[in-house]
Amino acid sequence: MVLKLPFSYGTVPSIRFGIGSIAESKNDIIVALGKRIMIVTDPGLTKLGLHLSVLNEIDVGDVLPIIFDEVESDPSLLTVFKAIAYAKENLITGIIGFGGGSSMDVAKLTALICGSKENLDRAWGVGNAKGPRLPLCLIPTTAGTGSEVTPISIITIEGEEKRGVVSPILLPDLAVLDPALTLGLPASITAATGVDAMVHAIEAFSSKSPNNNHLSRVMSKEALVLLNRSIRIATVSGKNIEARSDMLMGSMMAGMAFANSPVAAVHALAYPLGGTFHIPHGLSNALVLSEVLKFNSTDSKAAEAYTELAKIVCPSSKKNISNYSEALRFSQYFKELAMTLGLPLRLRDLNIPKKSLKKLACDAMQQTRLLINNPRPMNEADALNVYQSIW
């Protein structure tokens, strides 16, 4: 493929990876975030006590750590406002986002608004948030969103709509990734978030974005190598630290890829499933992935990209096969993978009524920020056909 120049590539200034990386990073965290640090997380993690891995490290000397654990899946605007108010009330100097993508998304916007005092209504969209923000550290406990290395925060607002803030100012000062934090993930979450990360790599690699670049493509391919070789093992043998490490590294690399070469129609069709029916984001992506890939396969550039990625996840010994045929085989691979991982394959299995499909298709069309990156133009009728095919 001919390299497209020029391009821009931004990522986190400092990344720490490995077992025990939180303890090794505690001095850097305290220096960067100050004396009054708010840990933004969810009640499930505090109930399990996972947040203590961070709390015990930074609760030293005159440092005052404060917990905000009200983040829910697909966080609402109300939760963001609660976190902002709590941070202001406690004179927070820095923020740690600890958990899955939801906690990190809330942490990002809390840091932005508390640091800049700008109007959140004016920050929605691409490049509208100006900052500055409070110092920010992100620590993932799942291997899927890659949010610790992306300049994106997605929030559910009124009307079941998902809305995003996209700005380099949301990239944290420090990302700390400890595979040991992911050892307790249930199989279903491991599988869904793992497929989510694979979607990030696939869409970044094939994105029609003008900033689809060589670095993102390299990151995408290596992410797929790591994720594809480890997702089955991590799902079945959750305590396998090697597989967990591969998953977390693959998720991060896929995040670095799509942070610069944005995702497309898979995410656009997944968001309404989360906004309306509260289907977890990773599972929403897994549900629509195969059919969106199949739809895109009629585009010659997409078929070429999928053929290249098929060599990584499902290599074939056959010669002289057309790119279109390989792209279709690539799309089918992910339907079979979802089945192997025990993920639901149909919307009806999740009690989504058939009468809702038209509304889902209409809502997906609102995700213009994502659809513009899809290799093949997709209209509402196309989206409806995808939803009908997986109902």
Predicted confidence at residue 275, as pLDDT, reads 86
* Domain stops at, among 181, 210, 244: 181
DSSP helix/strand/coil, 346: coil
Longest CA pairwise span in the chain (Å): 67
Predicted confidence at residue 241, as pLDDT, reads 97
Distance between CA 269 and CA 365 in Å, rounded? Answer: 8
The domain total for the chain is 2
Do 299 and 351 belong to one domain?
yes
Is it true that the peptide bond before 132 is cis, omega within 30 degrees of 0? yes
Instruction: Indicate whether 6 belongs to any domain.
Output: no
Q: Where are any strands of DSSP class E within the chain?
A: 15-17, 36-40, 64-68, 94-99, 125-126, 136-140, 152-156, 162-166, 174-177
Amino acid in position 24: E
Do 363 and 345 belong to one domain?
yes
CATH number at residue 228: 1.20.1090.10
Range of the domain at 362: 187-389
The tokens of 48 are what?
A: 């399990």
Predicted confidence at residue 26, as pLDDT, reads 94
Predicted confidence at residue 31, as pLDDT, reads 95
* Domain stops at, among 181, 203, 229: 181
Instruction: Indicate whether 10 belongs to any domain.
Output: no
Do 99 and 233 belong to one domain?
no
Predicted confidence at residue 3, as pLDDT, reads 58
Q: Chunked in runs of 10, what are the mean pLDDT values of the chain (391 residues)?
A: 74 95 95 96 93 91 94 92 97 97 97 94 92 96 95 85 91 97 92 96 96 95 98 95 97 97 96 91 95 97 96 86 94 96 95 96 94 97 97 96
The tokens of 215 are what?
A: 């670095």
∠ at Cα 191 (142, 380), nearest 5°?
A: 100
Do 254 and 148 belong to one domain?
no
The tokens of 192 are what?
A: 């869904």
Are the C-beta atoms of 53 and 181 separated by less than 8 Å? Answer: yes
Instruction: Indicate whether 153 belongs to any domain.
Output: yes
DSSP helix/strand/coil, 159: helix
Q: How many CB atoms lie within 10 A of CB 3?
A: 8
Do 332 and 216 belong to one domain?
yes
Do 231 and 286 belong to one domain?
yes
